[in-house]
Amino acid sequence: MAKKHTPQLIVALDVDTLEEAQALVGRLKEDVGIYKVGSQLFTACGPAVVRYLLKAGKKVFLDLKFHDIPNTVAQAVSAAVRLEEGGRGIFMCTLHVSGGGEMLRQAVMAATKTAQNIGVMKPLLVGITVLTSEGKRDNILQLVLEKARLAKESGLNGVVASCQEAAAIRDKFGDDFVIVTPGIRPEGSQAEDQKRAATPQEAVASGSDFLVVGRPIIKADNPSDVTKRILSIINQT
């Protein structure tokens, strides 16, 4: 059964410059407390955007989807944990479960040790299962559940998965296992490259903890209006 609770909104800052990111954060004001920094923005402006968000009092979800040999991923995760501002570090970061158990375990150890050493909270480490841009396949649920099991057994805090798999993950892995759901499309918006998309209502009902929304908000004529509409749906459902 899906968990009964109110998920939190994360806005994906998929823009090219620090100035665009700052303008969006300025427009969304207090409505949004968590921002996702992915490979597009981080490649363009690096740690500066993370420090800007932390200084602005926002939580940072660093979505760099690490996937490499165990040592390299462990070092990358340590570097991510060291991105702090005034004793506050990043809140969550991603790595590909398909990197394997050894890679995941070394990443967890590295995050724990670095966080202790520098005195910040260890970020939530969440595993990428199957990207939401992948279409429906017969065995997708089974594949996602297998990846979620490996993530949990390796010490990750949760997974990124589509709304279609969230309820099954919640049932199998319990209330403390974090589920992050991208591919959210309010009624009437374009699916774009997302194949396993869901409305905010469906995502809330699925028991996900965090709903990630990018283009429907950041490409909107009025990002603040769209955000308020999504928040009201989340809070009513």
What's the closest the beta carbon of residue 220 comes to ligand C5P, in angstroms?
A: 11
Find where tokens 């950041």 sit.
218
Q: Measured from the CB of residue 32, what is the shortest distance to ligand C5P in angstroms?
A: 14
Q: Which is nearer to ligand C5P, 106 or 129 (CB)?
A: 129
Q: List contacts with ligand C5P (CB under 6 A).
A: 12, 14, 38, 63, 128, 131-132, 160, 182-183, 194, 212-216
* Least distance CB 124 / ligand C5P (angstroms): 14
Judge whether 230 and 2 are in contact, CB under 8 Å.
no
Q: How many C-beta atoms surround the C-beta of residue 215 within 10 A?
A: 15
Cβ closest to ligand C5P, residue 70 vs residue 216:
216
Task: Please identify, using beta-carbon distances, which residue of 198 and 213 lies nearer to ligand C5P.
Answer: 213
Neighbours of 158 (CB within 10 A): 23
Least Å from the CB of residue 173 to ligand C5P: 17
Cα distance between residue 210 and residue 164, in whole Å: 14
Closest-by-Cβ residue to ligand C5P is 214
Of 29, 59, 65, 172, which one is the catalytic site residue?
Answer: 65
Return the bridge partners of 66, or none: 95
Burial of 201 (0-12, 13-18, 19+ CB in 10 A): middle
From the centroid of its chain, how far is CA 79? 18
Q: Is 152 a catalytic residue?
A: no
121 or 191: CB nearest ligand C5P: 191
41: DSSP letter: H
Question: What residues act catalytically?
Answer: 65
